[in-house]
A = this chain, B = another copy of it.
Amino acid sequence: MGKEGRPIITLTTDFGEGHYVGALKGAILDVCPDASIVDITHNVASHDILEGAFNLLCCYSYFPAGTVHLAVVDPGVGSDRRGIVVATEKYSFVGPDNGLFSFIFERETVHRVFSVESEKYLRKPVAPTFHGRDVFAPVAAWLVRQTEPEAFGPEITDFVQSATLQVEKKEPDRLEGEVVYVDRFGNIITSITPEKVSELLRQSGSPRFLVNGRKISRHHKFYAEAPPEELFSLVGSSGYYEISVAGRQAADILEVKRGDKVQLEMD
């Protein structure tokens, strides 16, 4: 429940646009017609759990306390993978237990996880191909109607925590991270944060990146600080180092894609 009483449910899915999104929203409103449904994205690449997880990571914490974050990237729907409710200090999360909330477990030190087992709160019959509509939507709606997370099923500790933002120390003065996201502007967002650099390396100074054979040694505070065509790094709005180029798509120029390795040294 939002702090002034309006229930907020956010949506992060790989459904694309169309009737799957419509049906999920209808199923929420059928339980809680007063819910304020907020689209984060429905364009996560099909079945790409890591991309869904990263999108959620970068925005969940800006919402008011009481927001329920519903996320569905669910290649295993209908199998014995569980559905879960994650309760943290300020938020609840609802979706499949397939690693989609891995970053939440990492970031939110206080959390409890419940397996969705009670049939009481589900749409019936539950279609084995669309738990978004028949399981997660009604559960999210009952959550913003103040149903306790315990009501949906037993607490569990063996939930899936697969995805992680890889950063490794490769040499005394070098870190290896990876590309976790390419945004619409072609900015290449890496898994490395300034905090991680301080923790793992002794050197401080200005970062120098090696990406797909190209050295990027300029660093700026904001995009417009760079001259046209210059490749540079900066700390992006979610706290990660990213590689960018003014007026063009850095990801195209460097021919990188998600999962590619990047190297960082400090000058």
Chain A interface (Cβ < 8 Å from any Cβ of B): 2-6, 8, 10, 12, 14-23, 25-27, 29-30, 33-34, 36-43, 46-47, 54-64, 67, 75-79, 81, 127-130, 133, 183-185, 221-225, 234-238, 247
CB neighbours (8 Å) of A238 from chain B are: 19
Q: Name the prevailing secondary structure of the A interface residues.
A: loop
Q: Which of B43, B58, B67, B237 contacts A17 (CB 8 A)?
A: B43
A29 close to B222 (CB less than 8 A):
no
Oligomeric state, in copies: 3
Query: Can you list 5 A-B pairs, Cβ within 8 angstroms, ordered by A?
Result: A6-B33, A16-B183, A25-B40, A129-B234, A130-B236
A223 close to B38 (CB less than 8 A):
no
A239 to chain B, nearest CB (A): 9
A47 close to B247 (CB less than 8 A):
yes
A59 close to B26 (CB less than 8 A):
yes
In whole angstroms, what is the CA distance A20 to B247 when docked? 19
A43 close to B18 (CB less than 8 A):
yes
Q: Which of B33, B36, B62, B129 contacts A237 (CB 8 A)?
A: B129
A56 to chain B, nearest CB (A): 8
Q: Which of B23, B42, B62, B79 contacts A58 (CB 8 A)?
A: B23
CB neighbours (8 Å) of A60 from chain B are: 22, 26
Q: Which of B8, B30, B54 contacts A64 (CB 8 A)?
A: B30
